[in-house]
Amino acid sequence: MSPRGRQPHAKTPLALTLGEPAGIGPDLTLALWPRRVELDLPPFYVIGDIDFLTRRARALGLDVPMAEVTPATAGAAFERALPVVPLGLTITATPGQPDATSAPAAIESIRRAVTDVLHGQAAAVVTNPIAKNVLYKSGFAEPGHTEFLARLASEATGQKLRPVMMLWSPELAVVPVTIHLPLREVMDVLTADLIVETGRIVARDLTARFGVARPRLAVAGLNPHAGEDGSLGVEDRDIVAPAIERLKAEGIDAVGPLPADTMFHERARAAYDVALGMYHDQALIPIKTLAFDHGVNVTLGLPFVRTSPDHGTAFDIAGTGKADPSSLVAALTLAARLAASTPTLVPAK
């Protein structure tokens, strides 16, 4: 089945992190629960502070009953109230104004979600947006969500994990081989080994989690026109093309390097299941153009399912009720679908 299809919801509830308390994550969470039947949402619980969420609901003019629960009782509570698993932390941030309680709450919510999913108390992790600059100021050492999740999972399982970020939508799925790097540093990191390792993880997880029997990978060239056989840069000839040949030798259906300017129109997209871009914007501009409101960030390479809405904290509209919930709806729905089709691993230690 194509990764653009749908599967039944998982029965075990999803763990939804609070995200940045001053951002739109709490707004979206509160707005979605009353629409759970209309939107056919899978059961979920939010890891946060019920007093904080009550204040935010009041500020938004929302009447949302809440129940303080444990992960084990969250599923039963979901139909009558928004289940809240307490963080044990006081949160005082207001919309658009992160404060000293923001980073500890966001970080601990992620930690708890990973613990819950690895111990079978949650079907998957869905993360609300975080503000990286707020976390960095608190001493947060990881580049972002993806790397932090991988570290937590590695510590819990004893496995060396290599996370891969995939942006998914019904129209297009993309993977940036290098992620949050200045463009001038991409060539310091991009290697044939990195492309091959990324391609392996993508192909494996598209089969294991999305049910694609033989995933088709379209690999973009780094340079304009995929380098024109070296006349516009030798990287595609010397790095990207050899990586693709190695993937093919392993039985992975990979094509390229393809000129990035001609591989994202509708007819071209029909020929592959996922596109691998060499750098962040090469992969993300197409999907954000095609699916800005409903794209989902999926982390591949982890022993559990993790999805996230493909947008930021939107401090400028936090607390106004103007935030579009489409991407969080898509993230919850996709997480439940993927969790229903693949098991979560329990910690090795």
pLDDT digits (tens), the chain, 349 positions: 333 333 334 479 999 999 999 999 999 999 999 999 999 999 999 999 999 999 999 999 999 999 999 999 999 999 999 999 999 999 999 999 999 999 999 999 999 999 999 999 999 999 999 988 898 888 888 877 888 999 999 999 898 899 999 999 999 999 999 988 889 999 999 999 999 999 999 999 999 999 999 999 999 999 999 888 888 989 999 999 999 999 999 999 999 999 999 999 999 999 999 999 999 999 999 999 999 888 999 999 999 999 999 888 999 999 999 999 999 999 999 999 999 887 655 544 4
Helix axes 50-60, 25-32, angle to 10 degrees: 80
Rounded CA separation 164/122 (Å):
22
User: What does pTM read for this prediction?
Assistant: 0.90
Q: Count other C-beta atoms under 10 Å from residue 230's C-beta.
A: 12
Please indicate, yes or no, whether residues 122 and 7 belong to a single structural domain of this protein. Answer: yes
- Tell whether 194 and 211 lie within a shared domain: yes
Is residue 106 within 8 A of residue 17, CB to CB? The reply is yes
Amino acid 343: pLDDT? 62
Task: Choose one of 265, 290, 315: the last residue of a domain.
Answer: 290
Same domain, 2 and 33: yes
**Which residue, of 248, 266, 290, is where some domain finishes?**
290
Q: Are residues 243 and 190 in the same domain?
A: yes
Q: Is 127 left (phi over 0), alpha (psi -120 to 50) or beta?
A: beta
Report the pLDDT value the prediction gives residue 7, as an integer from 0 to 100.
38
Count: domains in the chain: 2
Query: CB–CB of 126/44 below 8 Å?
Result: yes
Instruction: Give pLDDT, residue 147.
Output: 87
Q: Which residue, 290, 316, 334, sits at the end of a domain?
A: 290
Same domain, 330 and 226: no
Token pair, residue 85, equals 């698993």
Claim to verify: residue 185 and residue 322 sit in the same structural domain: no
Position 153, amino acid? A
* Shared domain check, 128 and 192: no
Residue 48 and residue 7 share a domain: yes
Q: What is the pLDDT of residue 345?
A: 53
Where are the extended beta strands (E) located within 160-258?
Answer: 164-168, 173-176, 216-220, 253-258
Query: How crowded is residue 152: how many other Cβ atoms within 10 Å of its Cβ?
Result: 20
Domain that holds residue 232: 171-290
Task: Please tell me whether residues 157 and 230 are part of one structural domain.
Answer: no
- CATH number, domain containing residue 347: 3.40.718.10
Residues 41 and 12 in one domain: yes
Residues 24 and 101 in one domain: yes
Question: 212 and 249 in contact (C-beta within 8 Å)?
Answer: no
- Same domain? For 73 and 14 the reply is yes
Residue 145: the pLDDT is: 84
Q: Which long-range contacts (CB under 8 A, 24 or more apart) does 150-154 make?
A: 150/299, 150/301, 150/302, 152/110, 152/111, 152/114, 153/114, 153/118, 153/302, 153/303, 153/304
